[in-house]
Chains A and B, each alone.
Chain A
């Protein structure tokens, strides 16, 4: 370096000496991105001190003519790059190329750990939500935001617990990756929302199907990849604050973040958000005990050089969520009464108080990652993460036990992930990786309630290899394979009579290790071997239309709830029984993506078919009468399932108007029993019309119509039971209708906003009104649909400050 500078000085010195005037010289060259070598369009190349400058063309070329001989200083700048200056002594026509540090906006290339998930180089069928769209959901949940993607719906428990469904599948079949860490947060529970603060995400990608092998082979439904805002390699401070107020729930949230970065690569990051909401309101009544509180924090510090880097981050999400009071019932008779009533039994005045039943969940992630680029090989990275999930569920209890949680689980997961991205082979982009996972679930015995799932240790080891091959300008191929070994070692108490009734004393006598009163202590141990693979191709037509084809096979070991659960599940007053004999599920999925743009019309069509062998379903299997009355018993069983469907989105712009249309259809069947699968999203279509005018401070006004039809394909899980008529005292046989689906509904949502620029700060004001017409409706995919209507009109005001 020093030597070069000295040489340069000498040159400069000599150039002064040998001044001569010839102003017919030309400097030309190309400006490219230092990382992916892509040409930079619109970069400004200037001669410093002389009033001369040109822009680079589409291919990154520039040419400056009529330059005088002698010492000149060239400065090249680009909106998203750190400017670069070069001094030369010009004697003849010269070609000078620049490599710029690009992507300060998307930054994916310079971040620590390079590109997280580049869906361009891969045939996975995916969709993305970008920052601007995400910010609209600042006071909602991850699941709510994801629903704006066609083909993604949600399984709700009330209005605050929202679990994403990708093309008909959810829970353990959908992986959530937050900042390159796979979330382990008791995701098996249908009433456990993913512990992610949506305000910490810069963009979210939904990969439909099991083609993201890097993150796990068990993504039979799909993978949700959440990427936070990354720090650029330049001297900067970036920050934003979003403030939301909402009429329904009479509360709001505040979220703030900032990133301080230096051109040396050093950076630190902060992001935090707080949410406070009281009871929500349906059009006709208050939804008592539906308030929520959230406190989220994420911190990071890192050194991020071009060829190596190290980064530490910490994330905390803490939430307290009230569960609709009226949904806590005692037995099948109460359930029938709730279904037959139009209004919930418990309606109290608005309150911010969160009483039982409620959930209190704290999730923490610690992550340390490092990477090193190795010449002639690629990039080697190592990541260690530790996650701790503490889940408390409080129930309505007798005898002053309300302050003791009915469920108190602590899940700790250590993950070590090492990867080699091998790019030195021309045309190939390959990735090899190893993952080790150690997990411990501990259930606090001081709850006074038998464990729904037991204490266990689970160890997994995964190995994968993926490669993308750039065949030609038009053809790209990719393939990958992953093997996972999974071993679970649990300690579980069964009620002895249940153990015997299920025949386990014959099937698994080797698991019995002790007896205590009427309970038997068992030590079930299971190993699972899972193989997943993906292969696909992308063809780009001359007019930039793109056709993507992808075949993937994912394999998922049964989760602890499917294996071990035994107990009463309050939300539909049923007894749920796991099955120790379950095997892994294996899915075979074929997906196609066809996308393109014709002038002002853009479209994206994604049909798919997913065949799942040994699909695990929870199904009713009789009635059990207890001292508390009658309960339906639901048991897990395996079958073969087939899902097919199509997700379509299209947009068209015309002057200042933009039309956006999304629809999705999925059909799921149990092919062994030839009946529909439960909880398949009904056909839904969303249309949005937006009028925007840039000149008026980026003004926009938008109206969205959302139509959800009635689901006509559902399994009949109704059961009959004898219920005492409280007037005549006689037993009457009634049918408990837990299967019928709610009617179709249509919602209108309105939003509008303006931006104001002050110097370096930008203020955006948005107004959003959801369910403008205060429509009464119930949603098939809400597990509390038996008890109350969904929320009514919610008017929200959002202030966003970027600085």
Chain B
């Protein structure tokens, strides 16, 4: 009897050891993950009404969060109205992924806001098509420029904010809430 039990115990131990040692052989190198939801680049394309060269503002950060972004902020002409369009890109993909399309597809969840510093003589107005709830998405806009001035021009892409909040449809961000997907500021000079 005794030996039987000992054998039983031993075999149990052996079994356990076998299972134990046969575990997890994931020695292969892990697969690289290229972040899918990254937005590396924001471009503001401004076309003067009545024709002229397209002026492009760019914020580009290709090397992960916070490491020296590349910002271009050309000057604008006084007393001109521009037709504007914002583009969001993931330039880590090849070819670059146009996230603006995604934003438009999920129009009810997104809104772009343009906040102009008081010192800058510029008035943005939404011009694009409305979403299914009748609210602006804000990808397309017009920018009426006054006299020569200088100041900050900040672009926000807000996800799941309250698009029915007071003033939201006119571009007032104060009561919207939601989460900020993009927040980029350009220092704009009007000449």
Contacts and interface: CB of A to CB of B under 8 A. Distances in A.
Contacts of B23: 412, 414, 438, 440
A450 interface: yes
B32 A457 contact: no
B115 A724 contact: yes
A399 B100 CA distance: 11
B112 interface: no
Given A396-B159, A497-B64, A728-B117, A449 B26 contact: no
A71 interface: no
Nearest to A630: B183
A514 B35 contact: no
B33 A416 contact: no
B37 interface: yes
Contacts of B69: 625, 627
Interface stretch (B13-21, B46-54, B78-86, B135-143): B13-21
Interface stretch (A130-138, A139-147, A327-335, A752-760): A327-335
A442 B26 contact: yes
Contact of A414 (B12, B20, B152, B178): B20
Interface string B9-42: 1001101110110011010011111111101101
Contacts of A370: 9, 12
Contacts of B15: 384
A346 B173 CA distance: 16
B151 interface: yes
B67 interface: yes
A412 B92 CA distance: 34
Interface stretch (A61-69, A260-268, A515-523, A599-607): A515-523
Nearest to B64: A495
Contacts, number: 191
A382 B13 contact: yes
Contacts of A729: 115-118, 120, 151-154
Contact of A445 (B13, B30, B99): B30
A310 interface: yes
B128 interface: no
Contacts of A439: 24
Contacts of A449: 33, 35-37
B185 A724 contact: yes
Contacts of B65: 568, 575, 624, 626-628, 631
**Interface size band for A:** 35 or more
A546 to B, nearest CB: 39
A346 B31 CA distance: 37
Which of A398, A414, A443, A454 has the most chain B CB atoms inside 10 A of its CB? A398
Nearest to B173: A726
B96 interface: no
Interface in A220-253: none
Contacts of B55: none
Given A334-B179, A438-B24, A625-B66, A414 B9 contact: no
Contacts of A498: 64, 67
A661 B179 CA distance: 45
A368 interface: yes
18 contacts: A330-B159, A337-B177, A386-B19, A412-B24, A414-B24, A440-B23, A447-B33, A448-B37, A491-B29, A493-B33, A496-B63, A516-B32, A518-B92, A568-B65, A575-B65, A625-B69, A724-B115, A731-B152
Interface of B: 5, 8-9, 12-13, 15-17, 19-20, 23-24, 26, 29-37, 39-40, 42, 59, 61-67, 69, 92, 99, 102-103, 105-106, 113, 115-118, 120, 151-154, 158-160, 162, 172-174, 177-185
Given A384-B19, A414-B24, A627-B184, 17 more contacts: A329-B180, A330-B158, A330-B159, A330-B181, A345-B178, A370-B9, A372-B5, A399-B102, A418-B13, A448-B35, A495-B64, A497-B64, A498-B64, A521-B29, A624-B65, A626-B61, A628-B182
